[in-house]
Amino acid sequence: MSVAVAKPGEIKHNYLNAGDTVRSWLLTTDHKRIAVLYLVSVTLFFAVGGLLALLIRLELLTPQGDLMTSENYNRVFTMHGVVMIFLFLIPAIPAVLGNFLVPLMVGARDLAFPRLNLASWYVYMAGGLIATWAMVNGGVDTGWTFYPPYSSSYSTSQVTLTIIGAFLVGFSSIFTGINFIVTIHKMRAPGLTWFRLPLFIWAHYATSVIIVLGTPVVAITLLLVAVERVFRLGIFDPALGGDPILFQHLFWFYSHPAVYIMILPAMGVISEVIACFSRKRVFGYHFVAFSSVAIAVVGFLVWGHHMFTTGQSVYAGMVFSLLSFLVAVPSAVKVFNWTATMYKGTIEFRAPMLYVMGFLGLFVIGGLTGLFLASLATDIHLQDTYFVVAHFHYIMVGGTIFGYLAGLHFWWPKMTGRMYPEGIAKLAALIIFAGFNLTFFPQFVLGYLGMPRRYHWYPEEWQMLHVMSSAGTALLGIGYILPIFYLLWSLRNGALAGPNPWGATGLEWKTDSPPITHNFEETPIVTEEPYAYENHHQQEEVASGTGASTTKG
């Protein structure tokens, strides 16, 4: 497969300069442009969620709850959860990096259903704007879990509007999941067998299966809450003859696998970055690939560990506890194999690799603390405390955001054709890691001491831990802002990246940066396994000698 080379002074056509009108962007069916639309959208919603988090931490600086009323505090932490989970964490990696990379990695011109892909962005935006409208018109105070009967009968906040927003965003995810599954099955390049697929693709395939099977369940569940709220039909409210525990079963049947919707794509990113900057094939490729599938399957069987304190049968609790421990096995397989990949590798600590190292640390802490919540005895003590808040932030936020930022820094040269300043990118990675741990590690201690989640009044002896947590949030905010500036700066001022600035394997690195509209000049033919870095060593040296790699060192 060849890479087109521009003559001096000639402007190369690519997906970015294929049209510069607003119409050309809003009506595009190019998966790469849709990925950029998602990138802008999720960044804006992340900023909204971040500002709400800042308000929460400002409130918790003092034990008296003197910044906002209890009602307003309920609305702020609820909207923080809704925005971050439904509008950022779930779509961030699949919709941005997955949209951009899945067709490139399988050697296709686009996703299987380009119009459906564009529709997914519009549906996502509709859901996001409705949720935002609900927020500016009073917000919602039920917590992001929408537990009835409070959500269906008693709350006077904008529950119905927020549920409609979440419902629409769920359909956006389903559209994306269907597109990925069909593309991976039917549009792979010649020679690209299942076991030559990059692990990023395996992770997105497993994620798409969870999305397609699980999202309709939570969508219908939330719709039933809205129906009960509007028409007073007895579904979940015991006063109307309903069962509130039924809601929890249905909600967590999706919402625990939703954790894997957030973390599995990040794991796909980690595999790609570790292999590239260790200059080795991924140790135990087949185990890492099948561990993604195992997580997707077992993840559907563990929802009951969220309900140990609801009065469910002790025997059911024991089964859910054992299954929750079981899902840790494929996660551990990934961590052990990534570590083995780095062992005796030629490791380069570039900016994406620093985010990967941060991911490994946060994910291991989050995973190990999850074992305490999977155990019946300790979970009863820790249920609904700040220990749970710290645990799921280490997994969902730490894991997903570090994976997202690792991927964004790794493929930014491919997306834009430009390099970013490496030094400040490394500094941002270190600041985010320090800020994250200062924010959330004290919350493990607070939870162990008994601080309940969703309270803004607390005993004075816990203030120091809360102050540390709020100081960490400020540091984290600085770390998150830095990439926005230097990545935008790089669009005009960054050094030209060339097709393969990292010397990586994979089809996406064998086309121009940024790619042309249809991705490849000619259909690529795959003849080797993924991550064949040993085979590429000599080619890399030859390429650097001819100037194709211009940014190392």
Q: Is the pLDDT of residue 272 over 50?
A: yes
Q: How much is the pLDDT for 75?
A: 96
- Model pTM score: 0.93
Any residues with CB less than 8 A from the CB of 488 and at least 6 apart, and which? Answer: none
* 288: its two tokens: 């890492």
In three state form, how does the secondary structure of 304-350 look?
A: HHHHCCCCCCHHHHHHHHHHHHHCHHHHHHHHHHHHHHHCCCCCCCC
Q: Is the pLDDT of residue 477 over 80?
A: yes
Asked if 449 and 462 count as a contact pair (C-beta separation under 8 A), the reply is: yes
Q: How much is the pLDDT for 534?
A: 79
pLDDT in tens, 350-384: 999 999 999 999 999 999 999 999 999 999 999 99
Angstrom distance (rounded) from CA 8 to CA 443: 57
Residue 3: pLDDT band with limits 50, 70, 90: very low
Q: Look-up: residue for tokens 């849709």?
A: 34
The stretch 201-210 carries a mean pLDDT of 96
pLDDT in tens, 488-506: 999 999 999 999 999 999 9
Angstrom distance (rounded) from CA 506 to CA 549: 15
Residues in the chain: 553
Angstrom distance (rounded) from CA 57 to CA 519: 45
The stretch 215-232 carries a mean pLDDT of 92
Q: How much is the pLDDT for 9?
A: 53
The stretch 321-327 carries a mean pLDDT of 93
pLDDT in tens, 162-195: 999 999 999 999 999 999 999 999 999 999 999 9
pLDDT in tens, 108-144: 999 999 999 999 999 999 999 999 999 999 999 999 9
Q: How much is the pLDDT for 378?
A: 94
Residue 10: pLDDT band with limits 50, 70, 90: low
Q: Is the pLDDT of residue 538 over 90?
A: no
Residue 548: pLDDT band with limits 50, 70, 90: very low
Asked if 468 and 440 count as a contact pair (C-beta separation under 8 A), the reply is: no
Angstrom distance (rounded) from CA 500 to CA 498: 6
* Cα 375 → chain centroid: 26
The DSSP symbol for 178 reads: H
* 298: its two tokens: 């077992």
pLDDT in tens, 37-84: 999 999 999 999 999 999 999 999 999 988 999 999 999 999 999 999
Q: How much is the pLDDT for 7?
A: 54
Q: 376 — phi, psi (to 5°)?
A: -55, -50
Q: How much is the pLDDT for 255?
A: 87
Q: How much is the pLDDT for 539?
A: 60
Asked if 263 and 207 count as a contact pair (C-beta separation under 8 A), the reply is: no
pLDDT in tens, 404-441: 999 999 999 999 999 999 999 999 999 999 999 999 99
The stretch 293-307 carries a mean pLDDT of 92
Q: Is the pLDDT of residue 211 over 60?
A: yes
Residue 224: pLDDT band with limits 50, 70, 90: very high
